[in-house]
Amino acid sequence: MTYFLINRSPRASLDGKVAEEVLTNNKIDYFGLRVFGCLVYVHVSNDKRSKLDPKSRQCILYIYKKGVKGFKLWDLKENKIVISKDAFFL
């Protein structure tokens, strides 16, 4: 996903504009960018937990998953990778 970040970085050859902004003539939206390794709380669905279990799990942002509307996260408790779109970033 390096190209995703490179296309949203300003260039000196484009007078400080972003390459994607020049190509599409639209302003770039940086809302979805998150720092790798930041803490994330992922929602655990009702069918995967009991009544007294917590509703979220603490994870770390691992990478943006290409072709999936979600995030690839590292679950700290179970030591495995989880893909989820129901995430709350700190």
Nearest Cα to Cα of residue 90 among 29, 30, 35, 45: 35
Residue-range domains of the chain with CATH: 1-31 (no CATH), 34-90 (2.30.30)
DSSP per-residue string spanning 45-67: PGGGS-TTS-SEEEEEEEEEPTT
Tens-place pLDDT, residues 31-88: 767 778 899 999 998 998 999 999 999 999 887 766 777 888 999 999 999 888 888 8
Summarised one tens digit per residue, pLDDT across range 73-86 is 999 999 999 888 88
**Model's pTM, two decimal places?**
0.64
Q: Which of 1, 52, 73 lies closest to 86 in space, CA to CA? A: 73
Per the model's pLDDT, the better-predicted residue between 78 and 5 turns out to be 78
The pLDDT score that the predictor gives to residue 65 is 65
